[in-house]
Amino acid sequence: MPAPRRKSAARSAARPTMASLADIHDLYERSVQDPENDVSVLGRLFQRFRGRPAASMREDFCGTAALSAQWARSKPDRWAIGVDLDEPTLAWGREHHLQGVKRVKLYNDNVLGGVGARTDLGCALNFSYSVFKTRAQLRRYFEVARRMLVSDGLFILDAWGGWSTTEPGRDQKKCDGFVYEWEQERYDPLTNEILCHIHFELPDGSRIDRAYTYDWRLWSVQELRELLEEAGFSQVYALWERMDDEGDGTGAYYLPKHTENMEVWWTYVVAER
């Protein structure tokens, strides 16, 4: 009787899932960020409100510094500073975005520290400032952000809201080669605190659950305006995007006195030093 064949180690070993091989920073950038568009919008807003082009930018909560790198690449006279607490994320950004890119300086530091040179433009995008949950904390951050601007500098935030932002639920978006999923786990109406997660699903059905978690306070536009003014900014503007007949954004922003609430909205708040 012939001896039974042994399964090869290669065949018997479980194949790695696509999720186990995926890079969450790469997935995040491909599903959430659009540095080229952000650089274009930030540059246009600075020119609009300050009447001159911006050369320098400070990106707080910069993460992988994709925006800072794109800013420096966009024009030969532009330079950027990025600040973030997470050194491994900064290291990933250096490897993937800053090879051969000059004029970008990254600091592994707290945004409250006020490190680095003063810049024309400062920004905190993707609602990253929402990590500050009290008025005192956020006002202190805004004071530092103002101090780190040149005399005619501009500070730009994005803000979000709408009636669906306080409801638990999940939304999915198909991306190139994977599915992005945004989950709002819970919202506390007494504190305005919100807990959200980003999940990714790969083509083989494997998942990366809670690739990113956000424990935030949901700040209203009016609260942001008041705190920026309290922090010393001379003028604060809440912008709103014009929509086309199909209900899609046009990329043009105006200054409304009032507007109607939506299921979800997203906009910019601009503060002049």
What 3-state class would DSSP assign to 30?
helix
Distance of CA 273 to the CA centre of its chain: 22
Residue 162 sits at φ, ψ, to 5 deg, of 115, 160
pLDDT tens digit sequence for 122-174 = 999 999 999 999 999 999 999 999 999 999 999 999 999 999 999 999 999 99
Q: How far apart are CA 62 and CA 126, in angstroms?
A: 10
Q: How far apart are CA 57 and CA 43, in angstroms?
A: 10
Residue type, 5: R
Residue 211's alpha-carbon distances to 19, 107, 122, 126, in angstroms, are: 11, 24, 27, 16
SS3 content of the chain, % helix, strand, coil (to 5): 30, 35, 35
- For residues 211 and 200, the answer to whether their CB atoms sit within 8 Å is yes
What 3-state class would DSSP assign to 175?
strand
Mean pLDDT of 217-230: 98
- Is the pLDDT reported for residue 10 higher than 70? no
Q: Which residues contact 211 (CB under 8 A, 6 or more apart)?
A: 24, 27, 28, 197, 198, 199, 200
pLDDT tens digit sequence for 45-62 = 999 999 999 999 999 999
Angle 164-213-220 (CA atoms, 0-180°, nearest 5)?
A: 40
pLDDT tens digit sequence for 78-109 = 999 999 999 999 999 999 999 989 899 999 99
Domains plus CATH for the chain?
Answer: 20-162+219-272 (3.40.50.150), 164-214 (no CATH)
pLDDT averaged over every residue in the chain: 94
Angle 85-86-87 (CA atoms, 0-180°, nearest 5)?
A: 110
Q: How far apart are CA 115 and CA 60, in angstroms?
A: 11
- For residues 167 and 184, the answer to whether their CB atoms sit within 8 Å is yes
Regarding pTM above 0.85, the answer is yes
- Helices 66-74 and 35-50 cross at an angle (nearest 10°) of 60
Residue located via tokens 């956000």: 214
